[in-house]
Structure 1
C-alpha cells in the first residue's frame, strides 16, 4: 500500500455498553478497565503477545518484573479524559515511568484484529520505550529511539493470537505527505535538526524516523547497517560520523528513502500464536468502593498539585466514609491525604488499610512517604528516619523485588546525614536494575557512585538519562557529567556530584500523544 495515501485513523470510538470495572493482571501489566471481561482479557493478551514479539525481534529478554513494578494501564472513557489528566489537548495516551509505579493512561480502545486504533498505537509506542530502556542501555540518538518505537508500535493482531510488527505506519501518512520533510542528514545530526526545528512547529520527524528504521531493517543491500551504526557509536563516534561511515552518502540514502516510501507493499515480521508464549491472565472485578474511588485514584496516580490534592481529598474522604472496611479504599485515601500534605491522616488511613489487609502495598508506600516527610523536621533525625523506613522494610518482606524499599533504605541514611553502608548502596543499585526506566533513580545512583570516585560505574547509569528518547531536565546535566568523565578532567568528585545535582526531576508524561 502507498504510505502517502494512508489516512491517520483518529475517529472516536462509540461508547461500549455499561460494564463493571475490572482489574486484569498479567506478567508485565496490570490493566484497569470499565469494560467486559472478554474485551479486557483480550486487551491484556494483546499487550503480552506484543511484549513477547519484541523479545523475539530484539533478542532481549528482561527480568520478570515484581508485581508492583509492572506497568499499570488505566483505560478511561475517551480521549478527552486522557487529555484532562495529561493537561494537554493533543495527547491521546501517555505513560509515566516510575520505580514501583509506572502508569499509562489510554482511552477505551477497540479490541479487534488487524491494526489497532491510534490510542492503542500510542500505548504500544510508549511501551516499546519502556521495554528497550529495561533491556538495553545503548545511548541511542533520538531518531533511532523514536524510529524503533514507531517500528514496533506499527503492529497488527490476528484473531488467532498472532502478532505482526514492522507494519506500514499508516498513522504517520499525513505527516509524511504534508509536514516539513526531515532529511536523513538532519535525523542523524541532532544539532542540524535542532536549528531547523526551531523555525518549524511541526515536521515529519517521527514518520521519517520510522521510515529510515524500517528501510534499514528490511532492505537487503543495507543488511546489518543498523547494527554497525550502533557499534560505531559505541566506539565513540558521533551519530553523524557513524552514519556517514556506515550508511555512506546521506543524500543517496535520502533518495532511496523517497523511492521506498512510494512502494506498493512493504515487508513486516509476522509471528504465529505458538511463537508467542504468555503466562496465564487473572481477572478480578473490583469492589464497589474501589470503583467509586477510581476517579480519585486516576488523578492521584497521574500526579497532582497541592491545590488539586485538596480538591480531590474532599471526594476521597466521602468515599472512605461510605466504605470504612475496604482496605483498597483506605489505601487510596492515604495517598490522597499524603498528596494534600496531611501526614498524620495519611498514616492513620494506611494503618487502617493494613489492619484489614496486610497485603495492601500502597498502604505501606503512603505510610512510608508520610513518615519520611515528617522526619525532615524532626529534632532527632536519626531516630525519625529509622522509624520512617520501617514500612518499607515491611514491604520488602512482602515483595522482595519492589524497588521503593531499596531506595528508601538508602535514603534513610543520606537524608539523616549519615554515611550509607555498603548494603544500602548495593540495594540502591539493585533498585536501578529493577527499574532502569526511572531516570531520576539512575541519576541518584550516578551521584552516589561519583561521590565514591567510581566514575566509570556512574557513567553507566548516566547514559540512559543523557540519551533519553524524551529529554527533560535531567538530560543535559547527565550529558555534561559524561563529557567531564570522558575528558578525564574530574579533579573534584564533589564538583561532579554538584553538576548532576543541578538537575531537576520532572514528572511529565512521556510523549505518548499525537507525537508519540
Structure 2
C-alpha cells in the first residue's frame, strides 16, 4: 500500500522471520486475524487471549461491539523481533514496541512476537492491548470522549493479565507508569479536564499525562463514594457544558479531587476486576498453516501492508516477482504480487496478477481489491471515463457478493461518481455513510463523510460525524483539521450547502500535544492518494 514510510531500506525486507525452520500460521477468530511463524499451540493461545480480552472489555464496560465483517477484523502480524519491528516502522522508532494502522477493510497491527512470560503481557503486548482498547472504544461509540478518558481507559485495560485458569484480570496497577507518575512533570486534574489549559502549561519535558489519566480513571472506577460521577461528567459534556464546568458539576471541588488523587497514587493496594471464563463469551478459533508459496512471500506482504512509497515498492517488487514466478497458481502469492505491482504503479500487471489469483481461488478477496484499485487508477485517465469507472466497479461488486458488509465496495461506489465530478446519487451517499458505520475506526473515512454531508447542507449531521475526530487520542493532522472544520460548521446555516474548499484557507491550530508514550504509537488514519486506504 502506498503510504509514506520514511526510513525503510531494502535490507529491512530480509530481517523479518522466514528461516528454513519457521512455518507461518494464521489464526482466525471473531475479532482478530493473527499471522505468526510460531507453533499451532502458541498462536491459538494468543488468539484466545485476544478474544478473552475483548470479551472482558465488553463485560466491564457494559458495551457490546457487534462482530465485524471478516475484513474489518484487526489483522496482527508478529514480525519476529523488536529490531525488525522498528525497521518496519521507520524513523523515530527507538521507543516503538508495536503499532496499529486503522483502515476500513484493512486494519493492521504489528508486534515483535506473540509470546508471554508467565501469562504476563510484555511491554510490546501492552502496546497492542492499549491500541486495541482504543479500537474497541471507537467501535462501540461515536461520542467524542475527552483525551484523558481515552488514554486512561486504554491504560486501565492494557494492564491486563491472563492466568492459566482462563480468568482475565483487568484494572491492575499500571506499574509501567510508576516512574512517570513519581518523577515526570505532574499533570493536574484541571489540566486533564481542559485540553487548552494543558497545552498552555505543558513544558518541554516528558510529563505524566498517561499515568495521571490512568490514575484518575482507575480511582473513579473503584472509589465507592464517587460511583456514577464519571457517567455524570460525560453526560454534562454531551449536554454542551464547558470542559471544566462539566467536571465541577460532576466531581465537585476539583482541589479536593486533586488531593484525593495524590493520596491514591501513594496507595499500597488497589482493586481490580477478575473475570472468570464463564462470563467471557468467545467464538471459535481456527488455526492453519499457510501454503508453501505464501510462507515464502509473507515477510514481503507484511512490508507491503505496513506501507511503502513508490521507490520502496519498486525494490520490494523484485523480490515478490521472484517468488510469484515459482508459484504461478498460488492465489495468496499472486494476490501479494498484485498489491506489489499496484504499489509500483504497474496497473496492467497488477490486474493480470489479480486475475491469476482469482482463477486459482475465486474467494481471494485481496485480489478483487487490488484489481479494483488499479482499474480505478486507469479510469482516471481513460477517454471514456464513464465506461472505465463502470468496469472498475466490477471487481468491487464481486467482492460485495463475497462479503456483503465489506466497506471498500461501498466506498468505491461513491468514488466512482465523485472522481468524475458528478453528483453521487442518494444510494451512493448512503453507501459511504454505511461504510463509515462498518469501520468507525477509520478517521479519514469519517472526514470524507462529514465533508459530503456538509456539502449537502446537513450541517448538524456533518458536525456529528467529524467531532469525534477532534478527540483522537493520538492527535495529529486529522484532529487539527477536524477542529478547524467543526469551528467553521458552527457558523454555517443549517440547510445551506457548505463550501468545503474554504477549509484550505483556514489556519490549522494544533493544540493536542505529542503523546510522549514510550511504549507504542498509533498511525494516523491512513488516507492517501493510492486508494488503498478505506478513507481515501
Same structural fold, with TM-score higher than 0.5 when normalized by the shorter chain: yes
Superimposed CA distance per residue, residues 381-411 of structure 1 (whole angstroms, 9 cap, x where no aligned partner): 1111111111101100111000000000111
Q: C-alpha separation between the residues in 1 aligned to 2:433 and 2:66?
A: 15
Q: C-alpha separation between the residues in 2 aligned to 1:324 and 1:265?
A: 61
1:79 to partner: Cα distance:
1.0
Partner of 2:407: 403
User: Residues 315-330 of structure 1 correspond to what in structure 2 (within 5 A)?
Assistant: 315-330=319-334
Residue 137 of structure 1: which of 133, 137, 142 is its match? Answer: 142
Partner of 1:436: 440
Residue 310 of structure 1: which of 310, 314, 319 is its match? Answer: 314
Unaligned runs of 5+ in 1: 1-15, 505-509
User: Residues 222-261 of structure 1 correspond to what in structure 2 (within 5 A)?
Assistant: 222-261=226-265
3-state SS, counterpart of residue 389 of structure 1: helix
Partner of 2:168: 163
2:54 counterpart of 1:51: yes
User: Measured at CA, do residues 378 and 457 of structure 1 come closer, stay the same or move farther in structure 2, by a change above 3 Å?
Assistant: same
Partner of 2:471: 467
Partner of 2:185: 180
Maintained 8 Å contact 2:206/2:516: no
Q: C-alpha separation between the residues in 2 aligned to 1:489 and 1:325?
A: 58
Residue 110 of structure 2: which of 80, 105, 112 is its match? Answer: 105
3-state SS, counterpart of residue 498 of structure 2: helix
2:73 counterpart of 1:70: yes
Residue 273 of structure 1: which of 261, 271, 277 is its match? Answer: 277
3-state SS, counterpart of residue 490 of structure 2: helix
1:346 to partner: Cα distance:
0.6
2:428 counterpart of 1:424: yes
2:86 counterpart of 1:83: yes
1:489 to partner: Cα distance:
4.8
Superimposed CA distance per residue, residues 201-252 of structure 1 (whole angstroms, 9 cap, x where no aligned partner): 4111111110010001111121111111101110112322211222223222
Partner of 2:9: none
**Residues matched between the structures, number:** 496
User: Measured at CA, do residues 89 and 132 of structure 1 come closer, stay the same or move farther in structure 2, by a change above 3 Å?
Assistant: same
Partner of 2:533: none
Residue 215 of structure 1: which of 212, 219, 232 is its match? Answer: 219
Partner of 2:3: none
Q: C-alpha separation between the residues in 1 aligned to 2:488 and 2:322?
A: 54
User: Measured at CA, do residues 165 and 56 of structure 1 come closer, stay the same or move farther in structure 2, by a change above 3 Å?
Assistant: same
Maintained 8 Å contact 1:39/1:111: no
Residue 133 of structure 2: which of 128, 134, 142 is its match? Answer: 128
1:514 to partner: Cα distance:
1.4
User: Measured at CA, do residues 226 and 287 of structure 1 come closer, stay the same or move farther in structure 2, by a change above 3 Å?
Assistant: same
1:479 to partner: Cα distance:
1.9
3-state SS, counterpart of residue 493 of structure 1: coil
1:512 to partner: Cα distance:
7.9
Name the structure, 1 or 2, with higher relative contact order (CA <8 Å, separation 6+): 2
3-state SS, counterpart of residue 95 of structure 1: strand
User: Measured at CA, do residues 187 and 515 of structure 1 come closer, stay the same or move farther in structure 2, by a change above 3 Å?
Assistant: farther
2:22 counterpart of 1:36: no
Superimposed CA distance per residue, residues 486-512 of structure 1 (whole angstroms, 9 cap, x where no aligned partner): 3455696332464289899xxxxx998
Q: Greater CA deviation, 258-267 or 240-249? A: 240-249
Maintained 8 Å contact 2:159/2:171: yes
Unaligned runs of 5+ in 2: 1-18, 509-514, 522-536
1:119 to partner: Cα distance:
0.9
Tell me the C-alpha RMSD between the 2 structures.
Answer: 2.2
